[in-house]
Structure 1
Amino acid sequence: MKIIRLAVAALAATAILAPVSGWAQTRITFKSAKTGSSYYQMAVQLSEAVKRGTDGGIILTVEESQGSVQNVMEVVARSGNYVFTTPPALVGSAQGAKGPFQDKGNPRFDEIRALFPIPSLTMHFVVDADAGVTDLAGLEGKTILLGKGSFGATEGEKYLELFGLTDKVTIADAELSNAVAALKNGQIHAFVTAGSWPAPNVIEAAAGTGVTVLSLSDEQIAETKRARTVIPAGTYAGQEADIVTTSLPVVAYATTEMDDDTAYRLTKTFWDERAKMAGEAAWWKGVDAGLLANIDGKIHPGALRYYDEAGMAVTEANR
């Protein structure tokens, strides 16, 4: 009789522990950005938040990436629970074999599904406060550092051309990593950077030098064909008013190989932990349900289940 009781107790313990063990086996590869970048830091924070929010049931292993194009391309070779970040437009390009994916089309790209938005790449036109510049037109005659090879550099160059400033400014031949020191030393009047807000280099410049971050008019924003973004007053030292600028949405994606329950739990945990992450790093404050409107293409069915339960609006095109 004692043996039977022991056997029943063992079976009960197994039944209790089995789900926990099952959750512990859910491991996800999270392909992010270059080590040291704000987006890599976000990935690490998200990994910690998911582990905390699921009691270790889901483990995100963060991998360094050389950029969003690489993240999308790896869908071809990856299997299982592969999650990556990229602007939605690149997913559309991959599925249409356009742009950087020309002649690289693959049926696997059609299996990409969105999960949730993360902080957007937000444009910052940062000017020395002593320069007296209050809008983009005021950059005429000034020396500007754009950097090289980044989204911010390419986008900044595009804006200068779009608003007739290309031949009216001097472009500094330097890396963006030197921007704050160059501004402080008077070697440049302004620099352009793109990243989640608050951007670390803008925080440094605002605290050490005093800067003005320029706003764009609604007409200018419409010309850029980018999303309108508002950086709230007080985000940077000395910033007394909202900054109205543009941004490029960034989204976390998986593929149809991720099962619905995992996608549901990962998405729910992200939103459940978002406020706590925002308390740890302000860039998460810019993420809300409104960013779902920036997602192009299909959302993973598991994530859709959460959005429907939470009452978050999702377009029919995303279903």
Structure 2
Amino acid sequence: MQKSANAKVRGITAAVFACGLLSFGAGAASAQDQTDISLISAPFGTGSYVMGSALEEISKKNGNGVRITHTESPGFVFNIKKLDAEPDLKANTIVGSGGGVLGLAEAGDAPFDKAYEPLKLIANYNLNSSWLATLDPDIKTIEDLKGKKIAVGRRAQINWAIQPVAILKDGYGFTDDDIDIEYVGTQEAVNALLDGTADAAVVGGYIDPVSDRVMMSPQTIEFLASGRKPHHLQWGAEQVAKAREAGISMANATIPAGADPSITEPMEGFADSVAWMVAPEFPDEEAYQVTKLILENIDQFGEYQATGKLMSPEGMIYGWDVEDIHPGALRAYREAGLIN
């Protein structure tokens, strides 16, 4: 009788042990199915940093096998240089970047010290657009700025300085003798316009060119709320195209009438992507899963950042050619019917 009981206990123990092995095996398989991916974005407190944190949280809540860990970085120029300096990161790291800064990197133009390998698109998460505004009623077009002082962002700021200056010089043919460009910073540019030390200044915001939704940048909101009567100067589609042909990456876009009550007519201008990008070495399957994650949860980004409400599936690829998109991401976009 005792022998039979011992045999029964041994049988139960074996069964429990076997179940434990099965459970352990399932857990191990689950762990193996999960892919950890790093994301470096931009300085703490910026919109890009917030959107990177949003993507991390969404990846952890979603449970599709991709988990993203996000950290800040000094900025997009740093991100491109870091991937180049540390090749091991290319297989598992997403970086904050964009069309404008990537174009400078590929060409080896300042602030880059050499030509860098092109990155591939995962998704745009913002589209930035800027233009010039004035309080001088005699300045009605860009051509009227000859001999005037123009305040823009700092020299290294792509959307707020490099691209606007490229349109002025490559699009309109202005030289340094024709206009006085002051690189002061975005808030400082608006301040200079308001206190009369600049004749025109860079303003702008974020757009979804698919839905024509626009969200002004903080300093632009402050400027528009000043009670003054601004006049907004459109760049012109032809001039944007000339600047692009000269080597500055940007896409044509139109700021719709009514984006602000002071914008009474559509303005032909540009949009620059603010994007999550990867090296070509980034695995196709991981790129596919990350892109699919963003597409399936795109409505959640607005819960983290106001500009997240401007995200749209079509906007995720706006301004890019098919060959610029990572093959894994391209597969997700084709499945979603966004690309043939």
When the two structures are superposed, what TM-score results if normalisation uses the length of structure 2?
Answer: 0.72
Q: Which of the numbers 149, 152, 163 marks the counterpart of 1:146?
A: 152
Paired residue for 1:202?
220
Which structure has the larger Rg? 2
CA distance in 1, matches of 2:150, 2:322: 34
Q: Is 1:159 the counterpart of 2:174 in the alignment?
A: no
CA distance in 1, matches of 2:164, 2:103: 23
Q: Is 1:182 the counterpart of 2:185 in the alignment?
A: no
Task: Give the 3 Å change call, closer, same or farther, for CA 286–134 of structure 1 in structure 2.
Answer: farther
Task: Give the 3 Å change call, closer, same or farther, for CA 139–50 of structure 1 in structure 2.
Answer: farther
* Unpaired runs of at least 5, structure 2: 1-10, 208-214, 245-249
* Paired AA for residue 157 in structure 1: V
Deviation at 1:264, TM superposition (A): 1.5
Q: Is 1:313 the counterpart of 2:334 in the alignment?
A: no
SS of alignment partner, residue 328 of structure 2: helix
Task: Give the 3 Å change call, closer, same or farther, for CA 191–46 of structure 1 in structure 2.
Answer: farther
* Paired AA for residue 238 in structure 2: E
Identity of aligned residues (%): 24
SS of alignment partner, residue 69 of structure 2: strand
Q: Which of the numbers 70, 74, 83 marks the counterpart of 1:65?
A: 74
* Paired AA for residue 145 in structure 1: A
Paired residue for 1:317?
none
Deviation at 1:81, TM superposition (A): 0.8
Paired residue for 1:259?
283
Deviation at 1:89, TM superposition (A): 6.7
Deviation at 1:115, TM superposition (A): 1.8
* Paired AA for residue 338 in structure 2: M
Question: What does the per-residue CA deviation read over 1:49-77, in whole Å, with 9 as the maximum and x for residues that have no partner?
Answer: 33333479412322313433x32222231
CA distance in 1, matches of 2:46, 2:140: 29
* Paired AA for residue 222 in structure 1: A
* Unpaired runs of at least 5, structure 1: 315-319
Q: Which moved more, 1:303-312 or 1:85-94?
A: 85-94
Aligned residue runs from structure 1 range 1-319, under 5 A: 1-7=11-17, 9-11=19-21, 13-14=23-24, 17-18=27-28, 20-22=30-32, 26-54=35-63, 57-68=66-77, 70-76=78-84, 77-79=86-88, 80-88=91-99, 98-99=108-109, 104=114, 109=117, 112-128=119-135, 131=137, 133-140=139-146, 142-149=148-155, 150-151=157-158, 152-161=160-169, 162-163=171-172, 167=177, 169-172=179-182, 174-193=184-203, 196-197=206-207, 198=215, 199-210=217-228, 211-225=230-244, 226-236=250-260, 238-278=262-302, 280-282=305-307, 285=310, 287-289=312-314, 291-292=317-318, 294-295=320-321, 297-313=323-339
When the two structures are superposed, what TM-score results if normalisation uses the length of structure 1?
Answer: 0.76
Paired residue for 2:211?
none
Task: Give the 3 Å change call, closer, same or farther, for CA 174–308 of structure 1 in structure 2.
Answer: closer
CA distance in 2, matches of 1:7, 1:172: 74
Deviation at 1:228, TM superposition (A): 0.9
- How large is the Cα RMSD of the aligned pairs? 3.7
Contact 1:145 1:173 in 2 (8 A): yes
Deviation at 1:156, TM superposition (A): 2.6
